[in-house]
Structure 1
Amino acid sequence: MTALPSQVPELLQNRRFQVAGNAQGLSGAGTVFEYQVDGSAITSTYKGGKIRTGHQVGHVTGPNTFELLFHCITIDGEILSGRSRGKVDVDETGRITLSFVWAWLSGASGGGESSYVELVLQ
């Protein structure tokens, strides 16, 4: 079986995203994620809102999918970690969107779904 080329690296590299929806999580509209990609390896940093600082590490899993492990420290000093499976897409306005299904691994329980939209400089 031949793997299909992935659009994930091109659509994430050096891009910034803000939260569009995350009813069950801590990140919100004030949280900004900055992604870097090296081959199939993905890293990011994030902060803002209730998040003092956070990091993600993961890899590409398909043509438009990826998985991540994440950890953060909140403005209240809590340390949390989790994992997510994500999908990258482009909306009708041409902005890149991310959608996730995620779960806490440490520091909290449960999980949910979230979505991000690319921050475009004016």
Structure 2
Amino acid sequence: MDRSDGGVVVNISSMAGAYYAEGHRHLMPIYAASKAGVLAYTKCLAKSPEVIKSNIRLVCACPRGTDTDLLNDPDPARCRDVNAYQKGAREAGVMSADEVAAILMSLVEDDTNHGKAAAILGAEKYSYI
């Protein structure tokens, strides 16, 4: 990407990295910690002078449970209790990848969105955090 053209970088975090959920985070602590790092990295990098003058915006999306392989077939070596993890995610509500993609496009199209993170709450529902 040519610096003069600008653009948008979208980093994908997770609600697990944005909010402490007593009942769920402990099940996949490495996942939750790495997603919290993505969120913090996006917000910090967005404030760097190099990024600000580059005309490149940084956006971070934090979807809740999404119908992916991670949810449907988690690695037991990385998830302390697969059944509890899947049950908790399903009770909270699971979105399709298409629903998440539609919201990602809204975040990209919002020209005021730079260095913000959005909690993706459901189809067409998000809030900046």
TM-score (norm 1): 0.26
Q: Which has the higher contact order (CA 8 A, sep 6+)?
A: 2
Name the one with the larger helix percent.
2
**TM-score with structure 2 setting the length:** 0.25
Which protein has the larger Cα radius of gyration, Structure 1 or Structure 2? 2
